[in-house]
Chain A
Amino acid sequence: MSVVNNAFQRYQAERPRIEKAAQLTAALLRRRMARERITCEVTYRAKEIGSFITKAYKKPYADPWNEITDKAGVRIIVQHKGLLDKALQVVQTHLTPAGAVQDYRDEDDVKGKYTLQYPRLHAQVLAAGDLTDGDGNPYECEIQIRTEATDLWARMSHRLLYKAGATDVPPDVSRSLYRLIALVELYDLEVERGVDVLAQHPDFTLSNRLLAEAEFLYRTFTDHEYRRDLSEDIIDVLLETIEHETDYPNKLAQFAEEHRLDLEAAYRDYGPTSEHFLTHGRYILASQPESLIIFERLSTAKMLLRGIWDDQLSETMLNDMAEIWSVHL
């Protein structure tokens, strides 16, 4: 049996465990990114069996099993370029390195040629969790870190340039696709600039910032989507209850840590995966990021919350939350 065939058989057998290793790694990174307040999307995959075989045949690997290092993969997509280093820092802090970081972001300038190429930022790490392969070694995981714009370009180029395989891409097509990287750079810079400007704008961002803080923390409990329009209605009311609070985001983060176990139980029983929410549409706010602020307010300023809430929002929604959190209103 050839080495490729051996590797294929083994990969087929171990792929479910590899996928689990990737999933655990993604979950860990999602929580850590949220705690560091890095806006990002974290996805994972185990390499498709077909891709594994193709790669094993295409490249002259002596030991495809060990040399194909992206069997488990996690992708972190950040909002703009300014968050790439922060995301990398989180990866390096919380996962054990299994190879050097591939950072090609400034490659052009180093060479002085100013050519346009994919700004690769990959880290090889040991996967989170304690899953091991047939030899007893922990699985490795390739972490790709990109901006949203880079991700868009990379997915396109993967389809049109890389996957073209044996077919040569005409040079003019290749060039036109590569020069889109200039737009990617421009896009990233403008997003970063916009985010910075908005962060300085108090009127526009007060409720947005509060919601963002709550969302960062909420993401450490659940990945499920929420209703943004509902959040916007609720957050304006909640803002009125914290206008005299200094350093509220820090207070909220502290609350989330102190009550983590209780919050986990509350989200499990009444949150986005609960029957109450999925089947009956009840306890709806327990599936929203602002639920954290509501729980915190119920613990420290329940009367103010209720007084302001009752003038503007449905009493049932707050009563449901008080019921979960065992607060007498």
Chain B
Amino acid sequence: MSAPTTTTGISDEVRELANQEYQYGFTTDLETEVAPRGLSEDIIRLISSKKNEPDWLLDWRLKAYRHWITLTPPTWQHVTYGPVDYQDIIYYADPRPKKQVSSMDEVDPELRAMFDKLGISLGEQERLSGVAVDAIVDSVSVATTFTKKLAEVGVIFCSFSEAVQNHPDLVRRYLGSVVPHNDNFFACLNSAVFTDGSFCYIPKGVRCPMELSTYFRINAADTGQFERTLIIAEEGAYVSYLEGCTAPVRDKNQLHAAVVELVALDDAQIKYSTVQNWYPGDADGNGGVYNFVTKRGMASGRNSKISWTQVETGSAITWKYPGVVLKGDNSVGEFYSVALTARRQQADTGSKMVHIGKNTTSTIISKAISAGHGENTYRGLVDIRHSAVGARNFTQCDSLLIGKDSGAHTLPYIDVKNQTGQVEHEASTSKIGEEQLLYCRQRGIDEEEAVSMIVNGFCREVFKMLPMEFAVEAQKLLTVSLEGSVG
């Protein structure tokens, strides 16, 4: 079942059901940590009230919800998956994990093996699996330390919920300014039900003294399915933000519909890096995360710059097009991406660069690797509007295929409405080089290692855009993800 389709609201049946569950679910039983399954205005009111949100935010959520129920999920993307039952999802759970494993022995051995391969320390493993409470406390205190240090230079870095409480004006001003509540099916859903996420504000002229990362801030593996991130860089500010799981977090939830909004004012720079390694599902395509994410930056100021770097190795299905609206004159947008699909993974990803301001430039570098039954689609838009005098784009998309059952697709859309626009798009698709493999093997390197080496080399252009530790992590991830794809 998908979204209810009546235009005035949800169907009576659903409402009845929701009310029923509502009745038993949470009004009377405040001890309950988890809301009943399904989505309704009442659920949204519950989320909003649990989070003690101001009315304007509730209204915004409801507006999004009312629009969402008129929408149908998009079907144009080059992926196939069974229907998502949006009424079978729990939209609100108390952030505290309900159940914790008490020792590493209880952790899934496959997950542990993965950790070991990644070279993650036991302490880290414990933290990531949510084993030791004090470990979590530790990381909270780390975060607190950072928060203090950041506060000294005026940087606000907190959870979205805290921002709503402590900086409502900023949130109100920028929320939905880049990704409006009615942007697309998943962004709309996110707007209605998002539970938390990150908020970051860099004041005028401040260069954020450290890389900001969700790694330190989010204290539990049970991050919400509907995160919302908002980053604002004021005039001349700079921030580098790292997102995501640096380790394969097993997620029982199927659907992740996050929204990230970035705003860069005059001369500001935002660098946003993601290493995504959600559970990809098993070799037969069972399980795994649906990663349907809307990420967009507004380079609204003159000389502003927004740069996306992503390494996507996880998720059963990935659907995301981090983009930049280049509104300010001389603004710059960048997108560097590595997307790997193995097993039965499917990815439809790319970037959107919308050139509005004068002399705006954008660069898209996409490296896609398909192995096993993996399907990888680059889909990108370069839109040079009539106002964008002197705009330039360079796009390069390379795909590497490993195995007869893999697929790689390149679907750029290039629309140019200004004669001074210059656009160059290049793409290539080929099998992993047999001569390269032989060369490596002649030197004694076994086939699997040779494949990993060649693939990592293929991605190097993107990896070098990542902060050092992330790059190392990403390389290891690639190697792990490719295992078993050879031969």
A and B: interacting chains: no
